[in-house]
């Protein structure tokens, strides 16, 4: 129920409804309609799942560090817009990253 004076929320207290903002009081018609239900206990802690999700495309490229023949790749505009983008590679085995200018 909401307060007629200020529009604040009215909660039951000592068999009356009391406004949380202005303190106005109102009678309760049916006590079973107005009751505060306590919430459950808060759960402590957060479960962290560490899972490596690989979303980049892969291609055949030799890693200069470990010699693996598979790498993830992506393009990035590192210079002016009228110049070609730079292709980056990341080895799927040792995670070494290198670039290729076009």
29 is catalytic: no
The rounded distance, in Å, linking the Cα atoms of 86 and 89 is 10
The rounded distance, in Å, linking the Cα atoms of 38 and 22 is 24
33 is catalytic: no
**Catalytic residue (choose from 31, 41, 51, 82):** 82
**Catalytic residue (choose from 4, 25, 62, 83):** 83
| Structural tokens at position 25 | 């009081």
- Which amino acids are annotated catalytic? 82-83
């Amino acid at each position: 129920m909401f307060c007629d004076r200020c529009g604040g929320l009215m909660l039951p207290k000592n068999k009356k409804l009391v406004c949380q903002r202005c303190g106005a009081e109102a009678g309760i018609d049916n006590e079973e309609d107005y009751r505060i239900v306590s919430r459950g206990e808060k759960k402590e802690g957060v479960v962290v799942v560490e899972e490596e999700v690989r979303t980049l495309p892969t291609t055949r490229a030799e890693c200069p560090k470990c010699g693996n023949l598979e790498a993830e790749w992506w393009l990035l505009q590192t210079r002016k817009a009228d110049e070609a983008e730079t292709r980056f590679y990341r080895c799927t085995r040792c995670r070494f990253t290198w670039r290729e200018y076009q």
